[in-house]
């Protein structure tokens, strides 16, 4: 064991594993220094190999478990090991505990950042074993020309021959047998009808050039470059939750911010009817091109290309606002613009607990009250988690 108090990369130390942190690491301490640990679980004792060191903290992998948690299971994938693939960081934790830790992170981030107590409800998603759900990947290409995924916090490509969380169509394709020299990334997308598209940049290598997604009766014809939810059940689950949270009526005017190709715009347009209207705002050129075609015949939908702040400032008489921003969140400026429109309901979908908590604090300080929060386990076997919250105006005394 290392006796020197200053940690160095490669050192091995014995620690007790504490609570989970946002980002999937578990917190431990060694001689007063914080060490973020992967491949461990709260309550365990472990030998941790240090992988990076900064002035304030260190990161490490649990390479030997001295006392196991009852929540520990054997990873199903040979690549889910210290120094291995960074795609899954929770394969060593049973599904029930994974969800418990994700709820803990949400509560902790809201308390730390927003100074708010929340009691989120977890929404479970099929398949319950947390495997075979992911329909979209950007695979990195190794020096040998093989597809793989990066090791955590590195540019080292771990070559793989299958992926436990991928849908079967990806594992049954020839993707992992091919040599992909001359490129650093290959994108694979599997549609709701199980068609497989493999592309390099804008060029389709195999499969249909367009991807046809079906969510209930709604059809979305999109390019492989446009964003679409990666969990095969996510589009329907999130659409249903968004509609349920918004409680729309005929004639409502709704803004769909960061609207992508219009996943939520379509069911919202159906709900508000011909007397209502949906304004969808999106910056991505690929998404805008797809959305413009998808909603070409919709008279109650207007597509706005540009920054959310700028485009939202041009709109008035808005009843409800739905936003699904990138991981960085909406931010203070956008939240201020949203609040200035005085919507009766704000529904916020987020894939990052910290940015959601920050923006929730902004909304809470601007006259809105968080009255509902759900957490959806759309990324099983990983630390990632999706949340949906609803804000309504605070009642005036």
Instruction: For residue 14, count CB atoms less than 10 angstroms from its CB and return exposed for 0-12, middle for 13-18, buried for 19 or more.
Output: middle
pLDDT band at 6 (very low <50, low <70, confident <90, very high): confident
Sign of CA dihedral 17, 20, 24, 30: negative
Answer whether residue 5 shows pLDDT above 70.
no
State how far the Cα of 129 lies from the Cα of 108, in Å rounded to an integer. 26
Q: Are residues 291 and 364 in the same domain?
A: yes
State how far the Cα of 90 lies from the Cα of 380, in Å rounded to an integer. 8
**Residue 363 has what pLDDT?**
99
Contact 387, 356 (CB under 8 A): yes
Share of the chain above pLDDT 70, in %: 98
Q: Are residues 254 and 116 in the same domain?
A: yes
What confidence tens digit (pLDDT) does each residue in 344-365 have? 999 999 999 999 999 999 999 9
What confidence tens digit (pLDDT) does each residue in 158-184 have? 999 999 999 999 999 999 999 998 889
Q: Which of 185, 203, 222 is the last residue of a domain?
A: 222
227: in domain: no
Q: Are residues 203 and 315 in the same domain?
A: no
CATH number, domain containing residue 290: 3.40.50.150
Average pLDDT on 40-59 reads 95
Contact 121, 372 (CB under 8 A): no
Q: Select the more confidently predicted residue: 250 or 55.
A: 250
Q: Are residues 118 and 197 in the same domain?
A: no
**Residue 290 has what pLDDT?**
98
Q: Are residues 149 and 255 in the same domain?
A: no
- pTM equals 0.95
**Residue 55 has what pLDDT?**
84
- Which residues belong to the active site? 351
146: in domain: yes
Average pLDDT on 17-33 reads 96
pLDDT band at 1 (very low <50, low <70, confident <90, very high): very low
Q: Are residues 240 and 151 in the same domain?
A: no
Alpha helices in the chain (DSSP H): 95-109, 168-172, 234-246, 265-272, 285-294, 308-312, 332-340, 353-364
Answer whether residue 397 shows pLDDT above 70.
no
Contact 144, 159 (CB under 8 A): yes
Q: What is the tally of structural domains in the chain?
A: 3
Contact 170, 196 (CB under 8 A): yes
2: in domain: no
Q: Which stretch of 120-124, 244-248, 350-354, 368-372 has the lowest confidence by average pLDDT?
A: 120-124
92: in domain: no
**Residue 202 has what pLDDT?**
83
CATH number, domain containing residue 25: 2.40.50.140
What confidence tens digit (pLDDT) does each residue in 241-291 have? 999 999 999 999 999 999 999 999 999 999 999 999 999 999 999 999 999
Q: Dihedral (C-alpha) 222, 226, 232, 237: value to the nearest 10 degrees?
A: -90
**Residue 2 has what pLDDT?**
46
State how far the Cα of 292 lies from the Cα of 301, in Å rounded to an integer. 10
Q: Are residues 301 and 359 in the same domain?
A: yes
Average pLDDT on 216-230 reads 96
228: in domain: no
Q: Which domain holds residue 43?
A: 12-72
Answer whether residue 7 shows pLDDT above 80.
yes
Answer whether residue 155 shows pLDDT above 50.
yes
Mean pLDDT of the chain: 96
Q: Are residues 366 and 260 in the same domain?
A: yes
**Residue 3 has what pLDDT?**
44
State how far the Cα of 68 lies from the Cα of 269, in Å rounded to an integer. 51
Q: Are residues 176 and 40 in the same domain?
A: no
Q: Are residues 384 and 245 in the same domain?
A: yes
Q: Which of 222, 246, 264 is the last residue of a domain?
A: 222
**Residue 283 has what pLDDT?**
98
What confidence tens digit (pLDDT) does each residue in 318-350 have? 999 999 999 999 999 999 999 999 999 999 999
**Residue 204 has what pLDDT?**
92
């Amino acid at each position: 064991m290392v006796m020197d108090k200053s940690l160095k990369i490669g050192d091995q130390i014995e620690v007790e594993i504490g609570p989970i942190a946002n980002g999937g690491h578990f917190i431990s301490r060694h001689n007063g220094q914080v060490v973020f640990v992967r491949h461990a679980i709260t309550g365990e004792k472990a030998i941790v190999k240090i992988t990076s060191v900064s002035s304030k903290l260190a990161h490490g992998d649990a390479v030997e478990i001295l006392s196991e948690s009852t929540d520990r299971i054997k990873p199903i994938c040979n690549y889910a090991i210290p120094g291995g693939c960074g795609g899954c960081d929770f394969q060593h934790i049973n599904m029930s505990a994974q969800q418990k830790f994700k709820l803990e992170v949400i509560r902790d981030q809201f308390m730390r950042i927003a100074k708010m107590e929340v009691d989120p409800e977890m929404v479970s998603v099929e398949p319950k074993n947390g495997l075979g759900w992911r329909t979209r990947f950007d695979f990195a290409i190794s020096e040998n020309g093989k597809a793989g995924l990066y090791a955590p916090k590195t540019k080292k490509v771990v070559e793989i021959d299958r992926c436990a969380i991928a849908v079967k169509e990806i594992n049954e394709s020839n993707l992992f047998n091919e040599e992909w020299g001359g490129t650093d990334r290959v994108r694979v997308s599997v549609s709701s009808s199980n068609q497989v598209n493999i592309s390099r940049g804008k060029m389709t290598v195999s499969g249909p050039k367009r991807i046809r997604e079906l969510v209930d009766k709604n059809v979305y014809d999109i390019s492989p470059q446009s964003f679409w939810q990666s969990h095969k059940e996510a589009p329907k689950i999130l659409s249903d939750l968004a509609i349920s949270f918004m409680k729309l009526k005929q004639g409502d005017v709704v803004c769909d911010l960061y609207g992508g190709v219009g996943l939520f715009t379509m069911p919202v347009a159906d709900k508000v009817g011909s007397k209502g209207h949906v304004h969808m705002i999106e910056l991505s050129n690929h998404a805008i091109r797809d959305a413009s075609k998808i909603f070409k015949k919709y008279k109650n939908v207007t597509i706005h290309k540009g920054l959310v702040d700028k485009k939202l400032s041009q709109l008035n008489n808005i009843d409800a606002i739905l936003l699904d921003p990138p991981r960085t969140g909406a931010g203070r400026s956008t939240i201020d613009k949203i609040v200035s429109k005085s919507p009766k309901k704000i529904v916020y979908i987020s894939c990052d607990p910290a940015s959601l908590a920050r923006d929730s604090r902004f909304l809470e300080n601007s006259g809105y009250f968080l009255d509902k929060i759900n957490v959806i386990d759309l990324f099983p076997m990983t630390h990632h988690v999706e949340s949906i919250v609803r804000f309504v105006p605070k009642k005036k005394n």
